[in-house]
Amino acid sequence: MNLNMSNPQAIVDLTHEVRRLATSKISDINDINRETTFLALNALIEAARAGNAGKGFAVVANQVKHVSKRISEITTDLNKDLAGSLSTLTQLGDSMIDRLRSHDGQRCADLALNMIDVIDRNLYERSCDVRWWATDSAVVECLANGTPASSEHACERLSVILDSYTVYRDLWVVDENGVVVANGRPSLYPVRGQNMAGTELFKAAMKTKSGADYVARDVEVLEPLRHTQVAGYSTAIRAGGLTHGRVLGVLIIFFDWAPQAGAVVKGVRLSEEEWTRTRCMIVDSSFRVIAASDDKGILTERIALQPDGKQTGFYRAPNGTTVSFAATPGYETYRGLGWYGVICQRTADNAHSP
């Protein structure tokens, strides 16, 4: 056995192996001793048949029988004492491993909560941005005037915003008919004139009751944005930029999801050794992977998460992996979309299993 002294599980496994070997070898000794006793009894019987000629042999047979009895007594005591001690030792070892796993599971659950909390705080800022920029005079005038000049001015203004807020792919101004009339990167994304009337970002934003309301959508890949992963936010643009002004159209902003979320799941504070057996993820309310530290399964994989109604916790999966999780707590006015931070960690002795 390759014993790594820094691996408690290996030490406990060795204890189980010693217990197994001791039990097996004691059983072998008992089997041999029973055969010896049987041979001694046969020898005594044959010595009795031989009469005076067999008396000397009977003495030897009796001595063998006596030795066999002593061996039986010793193995019985050994089995009782050693097996009992080893049983206690293995139970203590198993208990220690369970405590270590519980500690690691809780620690990873705390890290999962930290992951989703960072995401929530980041997306809260996005919800603030969309409501703020919907009141920008250039954005409001673009829809209020409806002239080519006002649209161009809005494009310029949105471009300036994008230069300062590098976490966005693009910002779109959409009129009340669902037509994109201005965007911040028209040369990169020529979307002006496209109709967004059938999208939830447009329809839900048009129904918002005030400028304090906004719409948030799960992560998706959008063809008009060159198939990039984005999280969309929208709100109504209102006359005069007033909270309860008449709805003129919609502002939609697209958060550049992949690089921002990737930085979060890959920035979890784990040791170099832990990273060899750990996968950190953000999953949506349907447990679809929307960010992963190994960059695998994003928007295509659904994990079998079992939160059992808990906001945070951990459990051991059938394959031995410890699954730690934390549900979105939300932040300020951003209530979250039912997402989870998830950390799956294999045991140190099973680090390279699939």
Per-residue pLDDT reduced to its tens digit, 216-225: 999 999 999 9
Contact, 245 vs 274, CB < 8 A?
no
Asked if residue 255 is part of any domain, the answer here is yes
Same domain, yes or no: 13 and 63 = yes
Task: Count Cα atoms within 13 angstroms, Cβ side, for 124.
Answer: 14
In a domain, 120, yes or no: no
Average pLDDT over residues 91-117: 74
Q: Is residue 304 part of a domain?
A: no
94 and 201 together in one domain: no
Single out the residue in 61, 82, 100 at which a domain terminates. 100
Where among 260, 293, 309 does a domain terminate? 260
Is the pLDDT at 146 greater than 80, yes or no?
A: yes
Number of domains in the chain: 2
Cα torsion through 324, 325, 326, 328, rounded to 10:
160
Task: Indicate if 135 and 40 belong to the same structural domain.
Answer: no
The answer on 135 and 42 residing in a single domain is: no
* 72, part of any domain: yes
Rounded to an integer, what distance in angstroms lies between the CA atom of residue 26 and that of residue 2?
A: 25
- Looking at the structure, do residues 71 and 147 belong to the same domain, yes or no? no
Residue-wise pLDDT tens digits, 224-265 = 999 999 999 999 999 999 999 999 999 999 999 999 999 999
Question: Is 16 part of any domain?
Answer: yes
pLDDT band at 88 (very low <50, low <70, confident <90, very high): low
pLDDT the model gives residue 278: 95
**Residue at 299 is within a domain:** no
pLDDT at 289: 97
Q: Which CATH number covers residue 25? A: 1.10.287.950
Out of 38, 65, 100, a domain closes at: 100
User: Does some domain include residue 236?
Assistant: yes
Same domain, 55 and 181: no
At 346, which amino acid appears? R
Task: Output the pLDDT for position 333.
Answer: 85
**Mean local confidence (pLDDT), 126-131:** 95
- The whole-number average pLDDT for the span 322-330 is 94
Q: Name the pLDDT band for 4 (thresholds 50, 70, 90).
A: very low
Task: Give the C-alpha distances (Å, rounded to integers) separating 39 from 28, 59, 63, 64.
Answer: 17, 14, 12, 9
Residue 266 within any structural domain of the chain: no
| Rounded distance between C-alpha atoms, residue 292 and residue 262, angstroms | 7
When pLDDT is cut at 50, 70 and 90, the band that residue 59 belongs to is low
3-state DSSP assignment of residue 310: coil
User: Tell me, what's the pLDDT at 334?
Assistant: 87
What pLDDT, on a 0 to 100 scale, did the predictor assign at position 320?
86
Q: Render pLDDT for 278-319 as a digit per residue (tens, 0 to 9).
A: 999 999 999 999 999 999 999 999 999 999 999 999 999 998
- What local confidence, expressed as pLDDT, does residue 353 receive? 47
- Supply the mean pLDDT for the chain: 84
Same domain, 71 and 173: no
Q: Which amino acid is at 178?
A: G
Q: Let me know whether 81 and 137 are in one domain.
A: no
* Number of Cα atoms under 13 Å in the Cβ half of residue 187: 2
pLDDT of residue 155: 97
| 96 and 134 housed in the same domain | no
Residue 207's domain spans which residues? 126-260
Output the pLDDT for position 281: 97
Q: What CATH number does the domain containing 233 carry?
A: 3.30.450.20
